[in-house]
A = this chain, B = another copy of it.
Amino acid sequence: MNRLAVELPGLSLKNPIMPASGCFGFGKEYAQLYDLSKLGAIMIKATTPETRLGNPTPRVAETPAGMLNAIGLQNPGLTKVMENELPWLEQYDVPIIANVAGYITEDYVAVAEAISKAPNVHALELNISCPNVKQGGITFGTDPKVAEELTRAVKAVSSVPVYVKLSPNVTNVNDIGKAVEAGGADGITMINTLLGMRLDTKTGRPVIANVTGGLSGPAIKPVALRMVYDVAKQVSIPIIGMGGIATIDDVIDFLSAGASAVAVGTANFVDPFVCPTLIDELPNKLDELGFNTVSELVGRSHRL
């Protein structure tokens, strides 16, 4: 019996660690460094119906213990992803979670319906929380009613379980979590980035061409952990937690707070081997803490 294994709607994970969407492209680049079959799953870059060229550059900026990004959901579009990216990933024994985005509900529905039929796509992640696009994205993630309806519309057409990715840029994240659960979501992924900005002190100009960007990395871990801890109390569907995870202790903290699995984003840029390293470190950490399986650890902070 594999003590790291985690069973989630649509996902039989070898281990609870996966790269977060947008920080791992479609896997090709990291495949040069290690065997992707080692990963619990892969959350691929957001896919939209059409090809998107994203925002002007600069698109990233460094901040204290974090970074800002405003990529703007650049991606080759549904057709190319279905024809090139997903088939290429089939050579690896790893479930794919397809991150779905769009301007309007119909976009989400169109992408979800098609991409959920790809053999290696085992779940969808609805990106209703991208802070870097003018239309769509976050606008769906800040109003409970809108989030619930979008979830319901996508559930109606998806061939695989649907996870909804929550934005931290809200007054009450619990309401959004409960709303998407009511809309039929099979799970929640959280958190997306916090809206932030950096100025070039010399010129006074925003460093990022898009003016604002999404804050990620260790700096946001306390906010992410608090939100996972709160939402875990409110919903009965599983949570895949993320936000600043860089070390094995971070992984333990998110599982303790109630996440059933975790995703690693920005840390891949700092240490490209971070995911396999965390997977290797997890068993010893479980021993050290006196837990047999990952599942035993999940939500322990709520049981103390």
Chain A positions within 8 Å of B, measured between CB atoms, are 63-66, 68, 142, 169-172, 194-199, 201-206, 212, 215, 217-223, 225-226, 229, 244, 249, 252-253, 256-257, 289, 300-301, 304
Contact = CB atoms under 8 A, between A and B. Distances in A.
Given A63-B221, A64-B221, A221-B64, A199 B304 contact: no
A66 to B, nearest CB: 7
Contacts of A256: 199, 201, 204
A226 B142 contact: no
> Which of A170, A197, A202, A218 has the most C-beta atoms of chain B within 10 angstroms of its own C-beta?
A197
Contacts of A257: 197, 199
Contacts of A215: 222-223
A205 B63 CA distance: 29
B301 A219 contact: no
A294 to B, nearest CB: 14
13 contacts: A64-B218, A64-B219, A142-B172, A170-B171, A194-B222, A196-B222, A197-B225, A198-B222, A198-B225, A199-B253, A205-B304, A212-B226, A219-B220
Contact of A65 (B64, B198, B203): B64
Nearest to A138: B171
Contacts of A218: 64-65
A197 to B, nearest CB: 4
Given A196-B225, A197-B222, 4 more contacts: A64-B65, A204-B301, A206-B301, A219-B219
A249 B201 contact: yes
A63 B221 CA distance: 8
A263 B225 CA distance: 27
Lowest 10 A-B CB distances belong to which pairs?
A196-B222, A64-B218, A65-B65, A219-B219, A64-B65, A197-B226, A204-B256, A201-B249, A204-B300, A199-B253
A223 B217 CA distance: 13
Contacts of A212: 226
Contacts of A199: 225, 253, 256-257, 301
Contacts of A63: 221-222
Contacts of A196: 222-223, 225-226
Contacts of A202: 289
Contacts of A68: 222
A63 B223 CA distance: 10
Contacts of A203: 304
A67 to B, nearest CB: 9
B205 A66 contact: no
